[in-house]
């Protein structure tokens, strides 16, 4: 645990120091951009993995995947996110690095596949900062700035359980929390007699939900597919959550910050459904996933947002991992990954769906017998320049520490 | 390689993570501004009380002001005001002089006062004269007013002579005996009547006012100065300079009748009340600029030199009692340009529209109301649209 503590401490310190400056204005709509992969392993395989059962990784997409957890595990990491955003007239590059939270997994009973997993993870991200230079005869030149910061995090705690016929089931209790602030400000030139001002809308979210998942047994055995080592299907479902938000509307004026109004609103986050297939062939693990979330049901303060439509994502991934690890050299223990995905994001702006296509790659380096440091890279293209929209080239680089140790073992005297 | 990585894995991790600290960021740009909906954009709007047909009311009222702290002493009279001055002197003498006075060896050969002119109101060709009287009753500058003056005991005889009045200096001689009495009283209170100073009264023919520096600081060379020439014939001659240690000017004037106009007067405490009904302004707005403009009726105004070119604006808590809000130590200032006073009262309007203060109107007063005798006549709410007070508000909303 001492070793874990050191790593987590380093991650936290660095993550605190690293801050963001701007991002996609698409995140202004709804709850912002969603995170699907919290670990470099998932990112390296196309960000999903609903049907993958891991014994040495924690997969938050499907609680059933914890049923084969071998050791107590801690996973934490950071993601660097670069975004080259281009409109028809200009482009800009933003970058940010975020702490991807942490997960703790405890195997309780191997025979029944009972594992307890908990964590704190980023769920959505709002980060944009747009400034326009304006002028008129009355006031002279001035700047208008529209910015948004924040996002939701998800804390969860859940259990997995092995059903008869080696089916695995899992469920987690999810608690969403976080603050999103949208700010609009005007700044006149220093020689102007007009005074600057800004409006801010703060939403402090909190709400509960749950996620259930199911992963089948090895269907290859049932189907007597001898060349295939492992074949599974999995499904996951997160319920439609009601997320309340305390709202504060402030103005920054000549007499200081004024609270214009405070209140509560309710946000309805649509259910999320995922289905996947995993196939182990020799040293290769293939995964295909589908994710669906009907954002046309998303409401904020009982109002639907025209800019949000149903989200769909398809991803394919492959992982190369030499079996019988202990008999190989260090480089033969390195795990390689690749993937691609196509996503119809939840954004539908100016009558145009904002789609994204991305390719992924990654690898893991062993850190001892049960721990790895995982790296993943993603390059994606999102959106279009048509209809006054933005096209984004997205670069993500993720590092995750996945640390395994034996805990709770009684020492024999 | 395996052994190296395992041995140095911590350094390896630290190095990789440290790379992220150099994440680069561009300054915010306009990329994406096209996706902002109009409803979310900040807009600058104008609200002009003149154009918006805002309900407006104004009047003149009187509030007691204490002139004891004034930095000017005003003497004279005109068609609407008359002003008196009271000065009191404490004379401190060297021991050698005290001895000579006790031995009755000294006499006051000559005594005069120099009063540098620091303010004037009225044409300099108009008559100005005054008389000086020895006060016979104790007085204090804290709460002294015209009512106090009416019951003040003073000698009827004028102790001044040889008055010389120029644009820059008023000079006159004082009766030597009067001053010698003060010297004796300062040496021994049993030797002479108490020294309660002098009262300066404008003559009835006077038609203008002059102002002098009031006592504010020790050793101020501009305050009125009493010169006393002491002489022991054939032996000793010395001149003592004495400045007043207490002073005040006392003002009397006729009531102002102005209907809805705002008449601001120095000395008498005439102030203006002004109210704009801003209830038609939208809620949750940011005041970017709020300029109050007042127009002067120059024909009814009497301004001095230096000019009363600033008006202080304070927020009222109660339009009836004319009490102030808790933050009335903060105020706005309107400056004069031609026949218009204008200034920014953004923070006041912001307080009203934000509901931090109930809009009970504004109090207007001359910034130099304690040190001038000016009358500034402001067109009020019943005047024509072009002349009445107006408030131009530029506000931000979404």
Chain B nearest CA to A29, separation (Å): 10
Q: Is B305 left (phi over 0), alpha (psi -120 to 50) or beta?
A: beta
- Most B CBs within 10 A among A3, A92, A375, hence the mutation to make, goes to A92
- Most B CBs within 10 A among A13, A135, A253, A363, hence the mutation to make, goes to A253
Q: How far apart are the first and last CA of chain B?
A: 61
**Yes or no, beta carbons of B16 and A93 under 8 Å apart:** no
Looking at A82-96, A199-213, A326-340, B339-353, which range is the least confident one? Answer: A326-340
Q: What is the pLDDT of residues A127-180, one digit of tens each?
A: 999 999 999 888 999 999 999 999 999 999 999 999 998 899 999 999 999 999
B284 to chain A: closest CA residue = A260
Contacts of B17 (CB under 8 A, 6+ apart): A10, A11, A14, A78, A399
Q: From CA B87, how far away is CA B215, in angstroms rounded?
A: 10
Q: A7 pLDDT band (50/70/90 cuts)?
A: low
Q: From CA A277, how far away is CA A282, in angstroms rounded?
A: 16
Strand duo A299-300 + A335-349: pairing:
unpaired
Q: From CA A166, how far away is CA A53, in angstroms rounded?
A: 12
- Judge whether residue A53 has pLDDT over 80: yes
Residue A90: per-residue pLDDT: 87
Q: From CA B192, how far away is CA A335, in angstroms rounded?
A: 114
**Yes or no, beta carbons of B287 and A199 under 8 Å apart:** no
Residue A1: per-residue pLDDT: 46
Kindly state the average pLDDT of the residues A385-400: 93
Kindly state the average pLDDT of the residues B157-181: 96
- Judge whether residue B386 has pLDDT over 60: yes
Residue B20: per-residue pLDDT: 54
Within A165-282, strands assigned E span: 168-188, 197-215, 230-238, 241-253, 256-269, 272-281
Residue A17: per-residue pLDDT: 39
- Judge whether residue B19 has pLDDT over 80: no
Q: B292 pLDDT band (50/70/90 cuts)?
A: very high
Chain B nearest CA to A375, separation (Å): 11
Q: What is the pLDDT of residues B105-146, one digit of tens each?
A: 899 999 999 999 999 999 999 999 999 999 999 999 888 889
**Yes or no, beta carbons of B13 and A18 under 8 Å apart:** no
Tokens for A263, please give them: 């209140």
**Yes or no, beta carbons of B286 and A139 under 8 Å apart:** no
Chain A nearest CA to B258, separation (Å): 34
Tokens for B274, please give them: 């002004």
- Judge whether residue B6 has pLDDT over 80: no
Q: From CA A372, how far away is CA A383, in angstroms rounded?
A: 35
Q: What is the pLDDT of residues B69-89, one digit of tens each?
A: 889 999 999 999 999 999 999
Residues in chain A: 413
**Which positions in chain B touch A6 (Cβ < 8 Å)?**
10
B40 to chain A: closest CA residue = A184
Evaluate if pTM is beyond 0.90.
no
ipTM over 0.90: no
Exposed / middle / buried, residue A296 (Cβ in 10 Å: 0-12, 13-18, 19+): middle
User: Does A297 reach chain B within 8 Å, measured CB to CB?
Assistant: no
Chain A nearest CA to B31, separation (Å): 6
Residues 60-119 of A with CB under 8 A from B: 78, 80, 82, 85-87, 90-97
Exposed / middle / buried, residue A74 (Cβ in 10 Å: 0-12, 13-18, 19+): buried
Q: What is the pLDDT of residues A311-360, one digit of tens each?
A: 999 999 999 988 765 566 778 889 999 999 999 999 999 999 999 999 99
- Judge whether residue A282 has pLDDT over 90: no
* Mean pLDDT score of chain A: 89
- Judge whether residue B22 has pLDDT over 50: no
Query: Which of A14, A138, A390 lies closest to B17 in CB terms?
Result: A14
**B113 versus A369: which is more confidently predicted?**
B113
User: Does A377 reach chain B within 8 Å, measured CB to CB?
Assistant: no
């Amino acid at each position: 645990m001492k070793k874990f503590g050191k790593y987590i401490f380093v991650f936290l310190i660095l993550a605190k120091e690293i801050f963001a400056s701007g991002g996609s204005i698409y995140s202004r709509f709804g709850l912002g951009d969603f995170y699907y992969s919290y670990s470099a392993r998932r990112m390296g395989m196309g960000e999903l993995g609903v049907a993958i059962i891991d014994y040495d990784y924690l997969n938050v997409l499907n609680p059933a995947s914890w049923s084969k957890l071998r050791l107590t595990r801690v996973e934490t990491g950071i993601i660097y996110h670069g975004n080259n955003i281009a409109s028809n007239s200009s482009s800009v590059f933003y970058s940010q690095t975020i702490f991807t939270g942490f997960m703790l997994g405890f195997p309780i009973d191997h025979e029944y596949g009972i594992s307890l997993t908990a964590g704190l993870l980023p769920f959505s991200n709002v980060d944009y900062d747009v400034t326009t230079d304006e002028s008129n005869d009355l006031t002279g030149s001035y700047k208008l700035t529209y910015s948004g910061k924040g996002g939701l995090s998800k804390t969860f705690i859940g259990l997995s359980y092995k059903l008869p016929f080696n089916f695995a089931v899992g469920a987690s209790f999810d608690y969403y929390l976080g603050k999103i602030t949208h700010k609009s400000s005007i700044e006149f030139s220093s020689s102007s007699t007009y005074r600057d001002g800004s409006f801010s809308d703060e939403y402090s979210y909190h709400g509960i939900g749950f996620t259930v998942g199911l992963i089948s047994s090895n269907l290859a055995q049932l189907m007597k597919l001898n060349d295939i080592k492992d074949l599974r299907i999995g499904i996951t479902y997160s319920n439609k959550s009601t997320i309340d938000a305390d709202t504060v509307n402030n103005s920054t004026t000549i007499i200081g910050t004024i609270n214009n109004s405070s209140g509560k609103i309710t946000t309805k986050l649509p259910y999320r459904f995922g289905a996947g297939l995993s196939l182990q062939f020799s040293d290769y693990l293939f995964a295909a996933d589908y994710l669906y979330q009907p954002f046309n049901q998303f409401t904020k303060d009982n109002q639907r947002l025209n800019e949000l439509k149903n989200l769909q994502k398809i991803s394919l991934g492959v992982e190369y991992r030499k079996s019988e690890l202990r008999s190989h050299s260090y480089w033969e223990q390195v795990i390689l990954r690749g993937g691609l995905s196509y996503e119809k994001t939840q954004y539908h702006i100016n009558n145009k769906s904002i789609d994204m296509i991305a390719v992924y790659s990654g690898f893991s380096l062993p850190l001892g017998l049960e721990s790895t440091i995982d790296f993943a890279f993603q390059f994606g293209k999102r959106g279009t320049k048509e209809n006054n929209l933005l096209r984004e080239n997205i670069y993500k680089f993720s590092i995750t520490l996945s640390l395994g140790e034996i805990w709770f073992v009684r020492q024999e005297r | 390689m395996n052994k190296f990585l395992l041995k140095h894995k911590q350094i390896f991790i630290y190095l990789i993570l440290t790379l992220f600290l150099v994440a680069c960021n561009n300054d915010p740009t306009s990329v994406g501004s096209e996706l902002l909906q109009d409803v979310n954009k900040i807009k600058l709007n104008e609200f002009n009380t003149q154009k918006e047909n805002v309900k407006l009311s104004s009047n003149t009222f009187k509030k007691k002001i204490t002139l004891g702290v004034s930095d000017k002493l005003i003497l004279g009279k005109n068609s609407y005001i008359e002003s008196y001055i009271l000065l009191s002197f404490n004379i401190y003498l060297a021991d050698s002089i005290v001895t000579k006075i006790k031995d009755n060896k000294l006499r006051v050969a000559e005594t005069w006062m120099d009063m540098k002119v620091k303010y004037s109101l009225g044409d300099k060709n108009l008559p100005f004269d005054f008389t000086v009287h020895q006060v016979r009753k104790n007085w204090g500058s804290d709460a002294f007013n015209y009512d106090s003056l009416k019951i003040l005991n003073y000698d009827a005889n004028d102790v001044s002579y040889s008055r010389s009045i120029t644009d820059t200096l008023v000079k006159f001689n004082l009766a030597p005996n009067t001053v010698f009495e003060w010297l004796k009283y300062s040496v021994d209170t049993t030797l002479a009547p108490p020294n309660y100073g002098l009262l300066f009264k404008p003559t009835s023919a006077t038609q203008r006012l002059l102002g002098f520096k009031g006592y504010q600081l020790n050793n101020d060379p501009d305050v009125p100065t009493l010169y006393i020439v002491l002489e022991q014939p054939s032996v000793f001659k010395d001149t003592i300079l004495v400045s007043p240690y207490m002073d005040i000017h006392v003002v009397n004037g006729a009531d102002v009748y102005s209907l809805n106009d705002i008449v601001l007067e120095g000395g008498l405490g005439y102030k203006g009340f002004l109210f704009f009904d801003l209830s038609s302004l939208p809620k949750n707005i940011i005041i970017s600029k709020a300029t109050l403009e007042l127009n002067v009726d120059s024909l009814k105004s009497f301004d001095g030199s230096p000019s009363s070119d600033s008006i202080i604006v304070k927020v009222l808590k109660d339009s009836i009692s004319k009490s102030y809000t808790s933050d009335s130590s903060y105020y706005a200032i309107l400056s004069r340009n031609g026949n218009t006073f204008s200034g920014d009262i953004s923070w006041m309007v912001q307080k009203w529209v934000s509901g931090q203060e109930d809009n009970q109107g504004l109090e207007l007063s001359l910034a130099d109301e304690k040190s001038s005798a000016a009358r500034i006549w402001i067109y009020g709410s019943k005047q024509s649209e072009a002349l009445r007070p107006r408030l131009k508000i530029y506000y931000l909303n979404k």
